[in-house]
Amino acid sequence: MSSNHVIPSYLDHSHLGPWGVYLEQIDRVTPYLGHLSRWVETLKRPKRILIVDVPIERDDGTVAHFEGYRVQHNLSRGPGKGGVRFHQDVTLSEVMALSAWMTVKNAAVNVPYGGAKGGIRVDPKTLSKGELQRMTRRYTSEIGIIIGPNKDIPAPDVNTNEQTMAWMMDTYSMNVGGTATGVVTGKPISLGGSLGRREATGRGVYVVGCEAAIKRGMEIKGSRIAVQGFGNVGGTAARLFAEAGAKVVAVQDHVATVYSEGGLDVPALLAHVEANGSVAGFAAEAVLTSEQFWGVNCDILIPAALEQQINAGNAHRIRAKIILEGANGPTTPEADDILHDKGVLIVPDVIANAGGVTVSYFEWVQDFSSFFWSEDEINQRLTRIMREAFNSIWHVAEEHKTSFRTAAFIVACTRVLQAREVRGLYP
């Protein structure tokens, strides 16, 4: 890592994790930012970090404390926007990186938001529904001082969903004494949620996958797909690719890896996961070790789980021609280089999974105007935005002869820093 990285003193410098990956990505884009590089320091430090204690009363009468975060990385282009994650491995460095990737993502697809992210360090599977509700509500109250429909708008992420958003919206609304639907997105339809939001991230992955296949002269029909992570993103993307005639040959989740040479029955696998919480136990042709997954013979690989899954340790074994980053930060910079040298086309997270926040933007606009669009209209607008972003970034990559990731960062960071520059410093 180069010496001009600015690492906040409150982070453990030996374990930067995803934040270190993000800083490296910023170093790689800096030479392409021209006079705007004067402002690049802005991108290397979050604007605002809130760490909150989240105490709840457990069902057995004891009191448990959880660590909660909300990080607003950048607000130059608009209010903060980004999900809330419940996971036992959540750390400040991770939430910082995720908030920064939201800044880049929102600018890459040109939705008028800054970047933010939140999380609670908890394994939600260890909580009852009542405990989960109390934790979500207390967390919302604690971060209530910095969120709001015009300030920072949370949404679902890993292990959070429409119900989580309903509790957050209700808690915020009760606290401010009015109904504030626009404070979160990814809400239930009955509460001002948007049609198409639930599957938007997976749909966006599918749309950019089709564009990438065109660039590589590849047919989706008959192509072989491997998916890591079978939650909302991986599951929806797998279903859409299968519906288009692709063979989803391997699926890995946090428990097991299932494989079928001729293609897994995706609807049956989705039903199995719905009933059992994992792909484990599905009647597949073969069960692979988690290591074998990375060497599977496939055309398209979709990491749709957590960060740093594709790294120097497994990148050499990957046989895919295209990688679609459904997850945030799944590929380390070392793996980026290895795969680039192998000629693999990586469609980076900040474009590949931007469908979710794009429809979040539609939801927020619909809430403000109290006028709701049809699902067709939403999917059409989503597809158009994703295609346009993909192709304009593709041109930048060709023009500067950079990776697709660096090109996405050139487009996005230029937008953010132009806003930064023209706003000027206050006071």
76 vs 360, which CB is nearer to ligand GLU?
A: 360
Footprint on residues 332-361 left by ligand GLU (CB under 6 A)? 353, 356-357, 360
Nearest to 413 by CA among 91, 25, 56: 25
Residue holding tokens 């959070």? 160
Alpha-carbon distance 204 to 320, whole Å?
A: 19
Q: Do residues 164 and 150 lie in contact, with contact meaning Cβ atoms separated by under 8 Å? A: no
* One residue of 16, 36, 49, 155 binding ligand GLU per CB under 6 A: 155
Helical ranges in 30-157 per DSSP H? 92-108, 129-143
Q: Which listed range, 81-89, 137-145, 267-275, 310-318, lies at the site for ligand GLU (CB under 6 A)?
A: 81-89
Alpha-carbon distance 147 to 43, whole Å?
A: 21
Binding characters for ligand GLU, 104-143, by CB under 6 A (x = yes): ----------------------------------------
99 vs 260, which CB is nearer to ligand GLU?
A: 99
DSSP 243-302: HTT-EEEEEE-SS-EEE-TT---HHHHHHHHHHHSSSTT---SEEE-HHHHHT---SEEE
Binding characters for ligand GLU, 18-37, by CB under 6 A (x = yes): --------------------
232 vs 332, which CB is nearer to ligand GLU?
A: 232
* One residue of 82, 115, 204, 333 binding ligand GLU per CB under 6 A: 82
Strand order in the sheet with 345-347: 286-288, 257-259, 247-252, 224-228, 300-303, 322-324, 345-347
Closest approach, Cβ 379 to ligand GLU, in A, equals 16
Closest approach, Cβ 359 to ligand GLU, in A, equals 8
Q: Catalytic site residue 47?
A: no
Report the residue number whose CB is nearest to ligand GLU: 83
117 vs 137, which CB is nearer to ligand GLU?
A: 117
Closest approach, Cβ 220 to ligand GLU, in A, equals 24
Q: Do residues 202 and 240 lie in contact, with contact meaning Cβ atoms separated by under 8 Å? A: yes
Q: Do residues 304 and 231 lie in contact, with contact meaning Cβ atoms separated by under 8 Å? A: yes
Footprint on residues 350-409 left by ligand GLU (CB under 6 A)? 353, 356-357, 360
Q: Which listed range, 16-24, 57-65, 76-84, 287-295, lies at the site for ligand GLU (CB under 6 A)?
A: 76-84
Alpha-carbon distance 128 to 58, whole Å?
A: 9
46 vs 263, which CB is nearer to ligand GLU?
A: 46
353 vs 402, which CB is nearer to ligand GLU?
A: 353
Closest approach, Cβ 83 to ligand GLU, in A, equals 3
Residue spans of beta strands (DSSP E) within 33-105: 48-57, 63-74, 80-87
Q: How many CA atoms lie within 13 A of 226 on its CB side?
A: 25
Closest approach, Cβ 160 to ligand GLU, in A, equals 8
Alpha-carbon distance 362 to 372, whole Å?
A: 9
DSSP 307-339: TT-B-TTTGGG---SEEE--SSS-B-HHHHHHH
Residue 328 near ligand GLU by CB under 6 A? yes
Footprint on residues 173-232 left by ligand GLU (CB under 6 A)? 185
Write down the catalytic residue from 105, 117, 187, 321: 117
Residues with Cβ within 8 Å of 391's Cβ and at least 6 positions away in sequence, in order, are: 211
By CB under 6 A, how many residues form the interface with ligand GLU?
Answer: 11
Angle, vertex CA 250, rays to CA 254 and CA 299, nearest 5: 125
98 vs 127, which CB is nearer to ligand GLU?
A: 98
Alpha-carbon distance 402 to 405, whole Å?
A: 8
Closest approach, Cβ 363 to ligand GLU, in A, equals 8
Q: Is 77 helix (H, G, I), strand (E, B) or coil?
A: coil
Amino acid at site 214: I
Closest approach, Cβ 149 to ligand GLU, in A, equals 13
Q: Which listed range, 77-85, 164-172, 204-212, 287-295, lies at the site for ligand GLU (CB under 6 A)?
A: 77-85
Q: Site residues (CB under 6 A) for ligand GLU?
A: 81-83, 155, 157, 185, 328, 353, 356-357, 360
List the catalytic residues. Answer: 117
